[in-house]
Amino acid sequence: MSRAVAETTTKLTHRAPRRARPNHYSPEIAAELCVRLMEGESLVRIGGDPQMPTKRSVLRWLADPDKAEFHKQYQMARQIQAEGRVDEMFEILADDSEDFVTMIDKKGREVVRPNHEHIQRLKVRIDTIKWFASKLAPKIYGERIVNEHDVTGELAEMLKNASNRNTGLPEPIPQ
């Protein structure tokens, strides 16, 4: 047997012991999970790490009323993740390195043209980040809803009088 084959066989048979996938809740694992979420990793990607709980386990933890503290940590991690994504959005906007492409036209001249495919992909990424942020931090990034009511007639006059400090409420109607 050659030396390379022997070394490969030795490496394959003498692996370092791996830690089993955690499936039970622990504050240490929960803290690591939240840190990775804050840093921008998705729950799916984290769940793909054999050292971390699966997405399914995390969702069970979130549904468990006895793990209210984890639920708070998770919500905070997601809000911080939204902040990071918004910051990433501005980096995407600032990078215009692939917005244009240089091509050779039929006459052999270099022509600079917009890279429409790249620009469209960036629009989709930015829209997705905006949507994501609006759902995780609606008070900061959500749509502002303005309710305007136009009141007319007798009710409008009563409200006008009620808001005027000099006149106060109108006199009661005698019966």
Q: What is the pLDDT of residue 11?
A: 52
Residue 1 lies in a domain: no
Is residue 93 a part of any domain in this protein? yes
Domain that holds residue 96: 21-141
Amino acid at 93: L
Q: Is residue 7 part of a domain?
A: no
The one-letter amino acid at 128? T
Predicted pLDDT at 145: 76
Which strand (E) or helix (H) includes residue 4? helix 3-13
The pLDDT value given to residue 7: 54
Q: Is residue 150 domain-resident? A: no
Q: How many domains does the chain have?
A: 1
In a domain, 118, yes or no: yes
Confirm whether 109 is domain-assigned.
Answer: yes
What SS3 state is found at 59? helix
Q: Which residues of the chain register pLDDT less than 50?
A: 5, 16
Residue 65 lies inside a defined structural domain of this protein: yes
Q: What is the pTM of this model?
A: 0.62
Q: What CATH number corresponds to the domain at position 96?
A: 1.10.10.60
Q: Which of 119, 118, 35 is nearest to 84 (CA)?
A: 35
Domain assignment present for 12: no
